[in-house]
């Protein structure tokens, strides 16, 4: 049964949003690995299902440079939980005869679609519901949700198998249940689900654990929430504890393997004598200052690639300054975002490698965008024009990024231009293939 444009216009805003995101998900999800990063993750998925092991020696993706050597075996250097989730999708596909391999494959597409894209959509739905709790009308909630869902790097990074998007979605889901506990009922379930998703985010992308930590005193300061605070801790048994156990099963330490420089020192390693391994050294204040400026407004500048962040940051500052409705939440989001950004500015130096802007900062987008709500409280004509202009700009940037989130640095040091050149090259190649042979 088809849906006419007139019927679609009558569809409730949230349903229309989900329909749009679902269609875009089917179209934009990548069917192949685009970098060492996602090759490393999908290698673990393949090994877990086909060999029942975290060792990736026998996978099609062992050639990735994002791996470590432990006891003469290769392992992914990525957190294991996203791969475990991916393996749950790949297992039935494998037993139906669909196997992961280099190049385009149905399993890679479906793993990305049913893990990253699905949670990405759920994260936008949770965001929409958060704004309802903040008092916005349906139209404003829809516009703000479009800004996050298709007008920011949140959309770009939902098209490939990565942990940053998963962490962003998990934080959004956790924040929704936290607001629900505050504004509706501080039930054990709401606090438990909050803790589940906030801590699950940390298992996908470790630095995002700062939000779980900072929301604990937020809960303890509220008398109503404090009564069920024990349920904020219990979910760690099914999120963080299994992640630590998986780390231990790999190298007899609960610490992530990517923190051990010696694991990257194997014959043929691209990281031999490299200074670009994250978390291995601390930058000087002067370097971090310059690095931070470029990370935010340079060729890969995160703020430039997410233009609506300008409004969100204004709303965040305004909420704190005027002690608005979400004052305490704003303090936590501002503090957590600042700490996360500072961590990367102090312990990295490569702007995320070959990536479309700074992928490390993507998880904070749903939390920041919540603070669009003050902007919509007085949505006059000037604000309408400003928002529409930034939204159109954001959508264009995000869709260009979706072509290849792992932008080729050899095409241009500006990821947007690198992707434009890639699109041009692809169109030229397609034209040449379709051109009649003389």
Give the pLDDT confidence score for residue 212 in this predicted structure: 98
- What are the b/e assignments for 33-56, b being 16+ CB within 10 Å? bbbbbbbbbbbbbbbbbbeeebbb
Q: What is the mean pLDDT of residues 390-408?
A: 97
pLDDT at 287: 96
pLDDT value of position 436: 73
pLDDT at 218 over 80: yes
Domain range summary for the chain, segments of one domain joined by +? 5-265+278-407
Q: Which residue has the higher pLDDT, 56 or 431?
A: 56
Q: Are 21 and 390 spatial neighbours (Cβ–Cβ below 8 Å)?
A: no
Q: What is the pLDDT of residue 438?
A: 63
305-337 burial code (b ≥16 CB/10 A, e <16) = bbbbbebbeebbeebbeeebbbebbbbbbbebb
Tell me what the mean pLDDT of segment 241-269 comes to. 95
Choice among 9-13, 41-45, 413-417 with the minimum mean pLDDT: 9-13
Q: Taking a C-beta distance cutoff of 8 angstroms, is the pair 315, 373 a contact?
A: yes
Give the model confidence (pLDDT) of 152-181 as tens digits. Answer: 999 999 999 999 999 999 999 999 999 999
- Cα distances (angstroms) measured from residue 378 to each of 339, 374, 381, 382: 31, 8, 10, 10
Q: What percent of the chain has pLDDT over 90?
A: 91
Cα separations in angstroms, 187 against 170, 178, 184, 329: 20, 10, 9, 19
**Residue 26 burial (CB < 10 Å; 0-12/13-18/19+)?**
exposed
pLDDT band of residue 276 (cuts 50, 70, 90) is: confident
- Give the pLDDT score at 347: 95
Output the average pLDDT for the chain. Answer: 95
Does residue 9 have a pLDDT over 80?
no
What's the whole-number mean pLDDT along residues 215-222? 96
Share of the chain above pLDDT 70, in %: 97
- Is the pLDDT at 317 greater than 60, yes or no? yes
pLDDT, average across residues 377-398: 97
Q: 196-199 — which CB contacts under 8 Å span 24+ positions?
A: 196/235, 196/238, 196/239, 197/170, 197/171, 197/173, 198/170, 198/171, 198/174, 199/235, 199/236, 199/239, 199/240
The 10s digit of each residue's pLDDT in 123-153 is: 999 999 999 999 999 999 999 999 999 999 9
Query: Is pLDDT at 195 greater than 70 in this prediction?
Result: yes
**Per-residue pLDDT for 303 more than 80?**
yes
pTM of structure: 0.96
378 pLDDT tier (thresholds 50, 70, 90): very high
User: What pLDDT score does 388 carry?
Assistant: 97
Q: What is the pLDDT of residue 281?
A: 87
Tell me the H-state helices in 152-307: 153-156, 163-183, 188-204, 209-221, 223-226, 230-233, 240-251, 285-297, 302-305
Whole-number pLDDT of residue 4: 59
Q: Are 402 and 155 a contacting pair, CB within 8 Å?
A: yes
Nearest-CA neighbor of 363 among 337, 390, 331, 335? Answer: 337
The yes-or-no verdict on residue 15 having pLDDT over 80 is: yes
pLDDT tens digit sequence for 26-74: 999 999 999 999 999 999 999 999 999 999 999 999 999 999 999 999 9
The pLDDT tens digits of the residues spanning 338-347 come to 999 999 999 9
CA 162-277-415 angle, 5° bins: 55
Enumerate the β-bridge partners of residue 69: 74
Predicted confidence band of residue 437 (pLDDT cuts 50, 70, 90): low
Q: Measure Cα distances from 367 to 123, 265, 285, 333, 375 in Å.
A: 11, 38, 27, 7, 15
């Amino acid at each position: 049964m088809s849906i006419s444009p007139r019927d679609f216009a009558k569809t409730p805003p949230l349903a229309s949003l989900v329909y749009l995101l679902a269609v875009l998900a089917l179209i934009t999800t990548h069917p192949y690995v685009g970098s060492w990063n996602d090759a490393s993750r999908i290698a673990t998925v393949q090994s877990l299902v086909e060999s029942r092991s975290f060792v990736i020696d026998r996978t099609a993706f062992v050639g990735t440079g994002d791996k470590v050597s432990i006891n003469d075996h290769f392992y992914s250097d990525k957190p294991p939980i996203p791969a475990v989730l991916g393996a749950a999708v790949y297992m039935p596909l494998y037993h139906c005869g669909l196997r992961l391999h280099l190049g385009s494959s149905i399993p890679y597409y479906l793993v990305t679609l049913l893990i990253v894209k699905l949670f990405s959509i759920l994260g936008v739905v949770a965001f929409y519901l958060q704004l309802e709790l903040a008092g916005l009308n349906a139209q404003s909630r829809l516009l703000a949700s479009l800004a996050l869902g298709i007008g920011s790097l949140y959309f770009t990074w939902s098209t490939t198998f990565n942990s940053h998007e998963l962490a962003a979605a998990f934080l959004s889901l956790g924040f929704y249940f936290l607001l629900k506990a505050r504004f509706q009922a501080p039930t054990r379930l709401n606090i438990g689900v909050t803790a589940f998703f906030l801590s699950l985010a940390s298992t996908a992308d470790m630095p995002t654990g700062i939000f779980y930590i900072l929301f604990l005193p937020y809960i303890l300061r509220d008398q109503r929430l404090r009564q069920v605070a024990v349920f904020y801790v219990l979910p760690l048994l099914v999120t963080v504890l299994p992640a630590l156990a998986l780390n231990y099963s790999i190298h007899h330490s609960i610490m992530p393997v990517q923190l051990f420089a010696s694991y990257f020192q194997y014959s043929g390693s691209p990281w031999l004598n490299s200074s670009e391994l994250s978390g291995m050294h601390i930058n000087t204040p002067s370097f971090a200052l310059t690095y931070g400026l470029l990370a935010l407004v340079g060729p890969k500048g995160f703020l430039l690639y997410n233009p609506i962040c300008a409004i969100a940051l204004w709303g965040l500052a305004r909420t704190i300054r005027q002690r608005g409705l979400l004052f305490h939440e704003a303090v936590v989001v501002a503090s957590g975002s600042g700490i996360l950004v500072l961590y990367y500015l102090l312990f990295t130096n490569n702007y995320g490698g070959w990536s479309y802007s700074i992928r490390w900062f993507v998880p904070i987008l749903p939390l920041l965008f919540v603070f669009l709500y003050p902007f919509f409280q007085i949505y006059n004509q000037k604000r309408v024009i400003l928002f529409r202009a930034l939204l159109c700009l954001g959508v264009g940037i995000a869709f260009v990024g979706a072509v290849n989130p792992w932008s080729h640095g050899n095409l241009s040091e500006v990821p947007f231009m690198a992707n434009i050149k890639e699109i041009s090259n692809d169109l030229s190649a397609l034209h040449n293939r379709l051109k009649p042979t003389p």
